[in-house]
Amino acid sequence: MKEGLSLNEIYESVQLTARDKFDIRTVTLGIEIISCVSDTIEKTNALIRKRLFALAKKFNQKAQKVENEFGVPIINKRITLTPATLVIANLFRNDRVNDLKICLDYARNLDEIATELKIDFIGGYGALVENGTTYADKMIIESLPEVLSKTNKVCAFINVASTKAGINMDVVAHLGQIILETANQSKQAVGCAKLVVFANSVNDNPFMAGGFHGITGKDSVINVGISGPGAVRSAIADLPKDLPLEELANEIKKMAFKITRAGELIGRQVAKELGVKFGSVDLSLAPTTQVGDSVGEVLELIGLETVGTHGTTAALALLTDAVKKGGIMASANIGGLSGAFIPVSEDKFLADAVKKKCLTLDKLEALTAICSVGLDMVAIPGDTRTTTIAAIIADEMAIGVMNHKTTAVRIIPVPGKIAGDYVSWGGLLGGAYIIDVHKEKSDGLIWRKGQIPPPLTSFKN
């Protein structure tokens, strides 16, 4: 081997997949579909079908080939599309019943295509409304409960805030109701697991449920989301417990470098096989429900008795920063969210910490300041007030807006469940203990509605 790799280096690389569960969490094909807009929903759906099959017919097969060749499993194959509101606005006729039917027809078409293509999820059903809503945006939002409960693979997002625009509290208030309605219409509220509410959303997010293909991008593009809590765990598990933090950070950086390089290589190879451009690698550490693949466990290994206790924010700051530094050294194509994920139901250590009441909603909110999707797959009591759900979203959005970063909420009020109960969704979504919310009301704030203005720091011109 010309590069002079040592046996030890190859051994460690082999063990990353064999022992440490390193995998590519998702290879996501982003596709622009504004070019499919026609004058009826039937024609538009037909054109979308044609375009998606032309680009993605061999997506699964090619991804499998690359997976076999490089020995790194690709867990999910996903498609992100242009935000739905831009694609179907032209079809609405100011007739609410008819227009909501168009929304459902559109989503069902995507669901069928994803099933036929054997794609895990298809994203982009959503709207960007931080500055205000159009009629089409309102239809998309109103359709969410039905769309998310009647389709399986369609994922939705609503961007309600940005540093430049502030927070659209009209939509935030409405989403409190929409999320509760979605929970009530779908089995164990699972529809809510397919909806992400964003501040400062990004155009090249490969992760679901919030991914969409931004309008500023290419016709089609492959974006990659690496996983890797297991890899980071193995990098630090055997280190001395009194190793100074800067040295610990260096070890995490080295591992982040390796897994980012692997992610980019695999993403580029899939893109080449499909004949589309390569976009970016998202550095987010994404846990899975598998034992040994937990962000919570990594935080505990840094030196916490239970994740959620005092010091958790500091430990997550060290982890997230080290992963970014290692990843940025490894690739010039870093994008997406690139911050640690802390999806409670998908991470065994986080779920257990909620059970112990050590990890609370307030602590998760604090962690948002230094990761991307702070309130992620958090199950709350089914009788939570819609204004409380809206207020939880507003807090999270405020952190993103004021700190010039992406934040997001994927929250699930589970009907009939109270704090401490357990709910299981299975598969990648895992299961979670219901986390308690404050009983004191936020109604006054929410029903004022209007816009929380952008921060002073956004006026830089």
Measured between alpha carbons, how far is 315 from 367 in angstroms, rounded to an integer? 10
Cβ proximity to other proteins: between 196 and 226 the closer is 226
**383 touches other proteins by CB under 8 A:** no
Q: Which stretch binds other proteins (CB under 8 A): 15-23, 76-84, 123-131, 424-432?
A: 15-23
Cβ proximity to other proteins: between 50 and 254 the closer is 254
**Cα–Cα distances in Å, from 269 out to 64, 79, 266?**
11, 17, 5
The interface with other proteins within residues 326-345 (CB under 8 A) comprises 329-330
Measured between alpha carbons, how far is 195 from 183 in angstroms, rounded to an integer? 11
Q: Are 211 and 78 in contact (CB under 8 A)?
A: yes
Q: In whole angstroms, how close is the CB of 53 to other proteins at the nearest point?
A: 25
Measured between alpha carbons, how far is 430 from 117 in angstroms, rounded to an integer? 24
Cβ proximity to other proteins: between 10 and 243 the closer is 10
In this chain, which of 3, 242, 246, 440 binds other proteins, going by CB under 8 A? Answer: 3
Q: How many CA atoms lie within 13 A of 416 on its CB side?
A: 8
Cβ proximity to other proteins: between 3 and 246 the closer is 3
**323 touches other proteins by CB under 8 A:** no
Q: In whole angstroms, how close is the CB of 66 to other proteins at the nearest point?
A: 9
Cβ proximity to other proteins: between 19 and 356 the closer is 19
Provide the mask over 247-286, with x wherever binding to other proteins is found by CB under 8 A and - wherever it is not: -----------xx-xx-xx---------------------
Measured between alpha carbons, how far is 367 from 375 in angstroms, rounded to an integer? 9
Q: Are 73 and 206 in contact (CB under 8 A)?
A: no
The interface with other proteins within residues 142-181 (CB under 8 A) comprises none
**6 touches other proteins by CB under 8 A:** yes
Measured between alpha carbons, how far is 71 from 289 in angstroms, rounded to an integer? 21
Measured between alpha carbons, how far is 189 from 191 in angstroms, rounded to an integer? 5
Q: Is 100 exposed, middle or buried (0-12, 13-18, 19+ CB in 10 A)?
A: middle
> Which residues is 431 bridged to in the sheet?
424
**7 touches other proteins by CB under 8 A:** yes
Cβ proximity to other proteins: between 14 and 243 the closer is 14
**427 touches other proteins by CB under 8 A:** no
For helices 348-355 and 295-303, what crossing angle results, to 10°? 70
Q: Which stretch binds other proteins (CB under 8 A): 12-20, 75-83, 100-108, 158-166?
A: 12-20
Cβ proximity to other proteins: between 46 and 329 the closer is 329
Cβ proximity to other proteins: between 3 and 242 the closer is 3
Q: Which residue shows structure tokens 């999910």?
A: 76
Q: In whole angstroms, how close is the CB of 330 to other proteins at the nearest point?
A: 8
Closest CA to 189 of 437, 421, 362, 355: 421
**35 touches other proteins by CB under 8 A:** no
Helices (H), 117-168: 135-150
**239 touches other proteins by CB under 8 A:** no
> Which residues is 159 bridged to in the sheet?
128, 198
Provide the mask over 45-84, with x wherever binding to other proteins is found by CB under 8 A and - wherever it is not: --------------------x--xxxxx------------
Question: CB count, 10 Å around CB of 154?
Answer: 25
| Interface contacts to other proteins, rule CB under 8 A | 1-11, 13-16, 18, 65, 68-72, 258-259, 261-262, 264-265, 329-330
